[in-house]
Structures are given as C-alpha cells and as structure tokens.
Amino acid sequence: MSNAIHLHYEVSSEDFTRAGEASGSVKKRLKSLGFNGDVIRRVAIAMYEAEINMVIHAEGGYCDVDIYPDRIEVLLADKGPGIPDVDKAMQEGFSTAPDNVRTLGFGAGMGLPNIKKYTDSMRIDTTIGEGTKLYLTVNVPQ
C-alpha cells in the first residue's frame, strides 16, 4: 500500500498552443487533492517552464508525476538534442531560442532559473544527441 498517485502525460511539440496542458492538468489534480496554493503554484510554474522547453528546444517527450503526501516529484524526459553546457544553460538570460520563439513570449533565458527557484531539488541528466531528463521535487511543508 502506498499513497502515491502517479500521472503520465505525453507532450507533443507539434502544437505550441497545447504546451502547458500537462502542467494545467497536474495543477487541477493537486487542487482537488487539497494541496496548499503555494505548493501547487510552484509545481505548476516549474513544470510549465519545463514543458515549454521540451516543446521549443526538443521535439516533445513525456512527463511522469508522482504525488506523495509530503512531496511532488516530476520527471520530464525528451529525445531532443541535449544540453551541451548545463551550467551555462542555468544562467539567467542564457538562451539559444530562435527569434520566433521570443515573439511567442518565451526564450528570455529565464526558464531553467525559474525552475530552480520554485523547486526544492532539480537535477538535469542530459546526453548530446540523445535527450534530456529533468527531475524536479517540490516538498510539501508539513
């Protein structure tokens, strides 16, 4: 017996307008489970930035979400190009996004720093030419 709730989402990169569907749906679920508003917002924002990254920098992928009473864990995995220099990618303002992404409101190089800010732990496993896995945890204050 475990009280974990597992959610799985496929994230398609075909349609930019749908990016954020998974995050929105997790948000709704956390709300219905009665989590505190601040925790829900932190999960939703971090996951949303990561979902956008999967769509604009990789070719989509999937998210796995595990909801425990004391924490929420999110894995976002893509089969994109990988991140050559993670330290650089983590810097505020660093972005390789093309201009058309910027006209859509993203590509300011604030996504990964935002994710770091809103989560209690963040790990990036990335391999050039294979893809990127982003592991996020948000703790629930007891």
CA distances (Å), 4 to each of 1, 7, 138, in order? Answer: 9, 10, 14
How many residues line the site for another protein (CB under 8 A)?
25
H/E element, 113: helix 111-118
Q: Which is nearer to ligand ADP, 39 or 109 (CB)?
A: 109
Applying CB under 8 A, among 73, 83, 106, 119 the residue interacting with another protein is 106
Q: Which is nearer to ligand ADP, 81 or 139 (CB)?
A: 81
Positions touching ligand ADP (CB under 6 A) are 53-54, 57-58, 78, 80-81, 83, 89, 94-97, 106-113, 132
Query: Should residue 117 be labelled a site residue for another protein when binding is judged by CB under 8 A?
Result: yes
Applying CB under 8 A, among 39, 45, 90, 124 the residue interacting with another protein is 45
Residues 6+ apart with CB under 8 A from 23: 44, 47, 48, 51
Cβ count near 135 (within 10 Å): 16
Alpha carbons 105 and 108: distance in angstroms, whole number = 8
Residue 49 beta carbon to Mg ion: minimum distance, rounded to whole angstroms: 6
Residue nearest to Mg ion according to CB distances in the complex: 111
| 3-state secondary structure (DSSP) of residue 140 | coil
